[in-house]
Amino acid sequence: MSYVDEIIAKVSEKNPAEPEFLQTVEEVLTSLKPAIEKNEEVYRREAILERLVEPDRQIKFRVPWVDDKGQVQVNIGYRVQFNNSIGPYKGGLRLHPSVNTGIIKFLGFEQIFKNALTGLPIGGGKGGSDFDPKGKSDREIMAFCQSFMSELYKHIGADVDVPAGDIGTGAREIGYMYGQYKKLTGRYEGVLTGKGLSYGGSLARTEATGYGLLYITQELLKCHGQSMEGKVCVVSGAGNVAIYAIQKAHQMGAKVVTCSDSTGWIYDPEGIDVELLKEVKEVKRARLTEYAAARPSAEYHEGRGVWSVKCDIALPCATQNELMLDDAKALVANGVMAVCEGANMPTTLDATKYLQEKGVWFIGGKAANAGGVATSALEMTQNSERLSWTFEEVDSKLQQIMINIYHNIDDTAKRYGVEGDYVAGANIAGFEKVAEAMLAQGVC
Ligand code: NDP
């Protein structure tokens, strides 16, 4: 049995109740085979893969808070500090009822490679809670965030672990958590990213993941003699990543005709109205039915369906495993040319393989959505410098980072004889950097 297959089997035996974690380990390690085989003796002796798949530590804690009726509620908090070989742990905090150890481990594991790809000094971590912010009052959100931070603060710090937003954690939640960290420690430091502009946040961080997704997609098209101009795109999700992906796609001359949330989806043949979408989702925090009610050209459909719409480019920006084999088949039948992931692991393994076999250009989330964490790292830099950069400064750095990522994953794929396999290119490029640092730092 190969070293890679041995480790996949061990992970699967040790973590049977963590399907998302197993899925990402299998995806990443399988694609690393050519790189591992090149240096297998050293990697085996140094147990690089065994160390890579086991987090440095997992923190799990009780989060008690009082709701508006005076009832005490209890949620579970998580922080998985996966690997800090190239920098402090860095990764978002997800607040969603589906959150469990396996989901946080999958996200933390992916973060190691994604963060390495940015070229910036950040390690991999992830956290969150099974708390559901939907339908909660501002006071309840604050009560939860304060209680969550009352434990988390012991484990994080500007040079230790720097969490950020993710699903369910936006500027409001980061603000309440930052206030509590400051109160408990007395320190005013860049311990969280995604902060408000008035207290250390970075311009362009809000837009970064969606914009970065379009910058890399544009570079991909450019290198294949194409452009975004006139392309029809389908986007899933209607949150932070989706909104700014749609906005940038429109700025590049493409037309985005769909978006979705957890209950339904919109088909708007005239192109999604981003300002209206922002009003519905960022201000009113309402359902997409409100978008359809205000926009005569839009159709609202219950359930899933975004991938059935004819398009040139598909950008999944909602959540994991939202693009399955049948969806991939529908996209291919409709002539899709590229799929680039805004969300983390939105495409299932069989769907990814199908798209690649059919010649669709596919860039996975570790590369395609790295613009968010890269800009978070730029926020850390500004905090350390006690300076704030202009929007244009941050945006142009982001653009260059995404272009570099594209060429890095493309060149790496070519170097290992798998030209055009951007998933393998991304995993191997991220792995090479982290493995080199791990080897240099000895057994730790
Ligand atoms: P948001 O919470 O802002 O938005 C998530 C969107 O996806 C919402 O429209 C939500 O619908 C929908 N959604 C969430 N869960 C489900 C589900 N189970 N089924 C269907 N739809 C769902 O999150 P973000 O936009 O920040 O994150 C989206 C994805 O991008 C995640 O995978 C995240 O990990 C990834 N990502 C985010 C980064 C960032 O900077 N924000 C950086 C890198 C990756 P509803 O409105 O109904 O909840």
Nearest in space to 346 (alpha carbons), one of 374, 312, 311, 315: 315
Residue identifier of the C-alpha nearest atom 27 of ligand 1: 167
C-alpha of residue 40 to centroid of ligand 1, in Å: 38
Categorise residue 276: left if φ over 0, alpha if ψ from -120 to 50, beta otherwise: alpha
Q: Distance from the CA of 438 to the center of ligand 1, in angstroms?
A: 32
Does ligand 1 come within 6 angstroms of the Cβ of 344? yes
Tell me how far the alpha carbon of residue 318 lies from the centroid of ligand 1, in angstroms: 4
Spell 137-159 as b/e; 16+ CB within 10 A means b.
Answer: eeebbbbbbbbbbbebbebbbbe
Q: pTM for the whole thing?
A: 0.95
Rounded Cα distance, 442 and 191, in Å? 28
Ligand 1 in reach of 167 Cβ (< 6 A): yes
Tell the residue nearest (CA) to atom 4 of ligand 1: 239
> Is 369 a pocket residue for ligand 1 (Cβ < 6 Å)?
yes
Which of 261, 302, 378, 405 has most ligand 1 atoms within 8 Å of its beta carbon, as the pocket-test mutant? 261
Which mutation among 114, 169, 240, 379 tests ligand 1's pocket best, with the greatest number of atoms within 8 A of CB? 240
237 Cα–ligand 1 center, Å: 6
Taking the CA of residue 170 as reference, the ligand 1 atom at the shortest distance is 3
Query: Ligand 1 mean position to 317 CA, how many Å?
Result: 7
- Residues with Cβ within 8 Å of 305's Cβ and at least 6 positions away in sequence, in order, are 260, 265, 267
Inter-CA distances, 203 with 102, 168, 196, Å: 33, 20, 9
In short, whether 238's Cβ falls inside 6 Å of ligand 1 is: yes
Please name the amino acid found at residue 255. Answer: K
Q: Write the CA distances from 424 to 168, 363, 374, 411, integer angstroms.
A: 30, 10, 20, 11
To which residue do tokens 């440095």 refer? 56
> What type of residue is 30?
T
Q: Is the CB of 364 under 6 A from ligand 1?
A: no
Q: Which long-range contacts (CB under 8 A, 24 or more apart) does 378-387 make?
A: 378/120, 378/202, 379/190, 379/193, 379/194, 379/195, 379/200, 379/201, 379/202, 379/205, 380/122, 380/158, 380/162, 380/190, 380/193, 382/200, 382/202, 383/158, 383/189, 383/190, 383/200, 384/158, 384/190
Q: What is the pLDDT of residue 2?
A: 94
Which one, of 79, 86, 87, lies nearest residue 107 by Cα? Answer: 79
Q: Are strands 361-363 and 299-302 parallel, antiparallel or unpaired?
A: unpaired
- What DSSP character marks residue 154? G
**Which helix (DSSP H) or strand (DSSP E) does residue 94 occupy?**
strand 89-95
Q: Give strand ranges (E) for 174-312.
A: 232-236, 255-256, 258-260, 264-267, 299-302
Along the 444 residues of the chain, how does pLDDT read in single tens digits?
899 999 999 999 999 999 999 999 999 999 999 999 999 999 999 999 999 999 999 999 999 999 999 999 999 999 999 999 999 999 999 999 999 999 999 999 999 999 999 999 999 999 999 999 999 999 999 999 999 999 999 999 999 999 999 999 999 999 999 999 999 999 999 999 999 999 999 999 999 999 999 999 999 999 999 999 999 999 999 999 999 999 999 999 999 999 999 999 999 999 999 999 999 999 999 999 999 999 999 999 999 999 999 999 999 999 999 999 999 999 999 999 999 999 999 999 999 999 999 999 999 999 999 999 999 999 999 999 999 999 999 999 999 999 999 999 999 999 999 999 999 999 999 999 999 999 999 999
Residue nearest atom 30 of ligand 1, based on CA coordinates: 343
Residue whose entry in the numeric block shows the structure tokens 């998985």: 80
Residues acting as catalytic residues: 126
Query: Ligand 1, residues 319, 324, 340, 369: which to mutate, most atoms within 8 A of Cβ?
Result: 319
Domains of the chain: 55-189 (3.40.50.10860), 208-368 (3.40.50.720)
Q: What is the DSSP letter of 308?
A: G
The protein residue whose alpha carbon is closest to atom 22 in ligand 1 is 262
| Nearest ligand 1 atom, CA 259 | 9
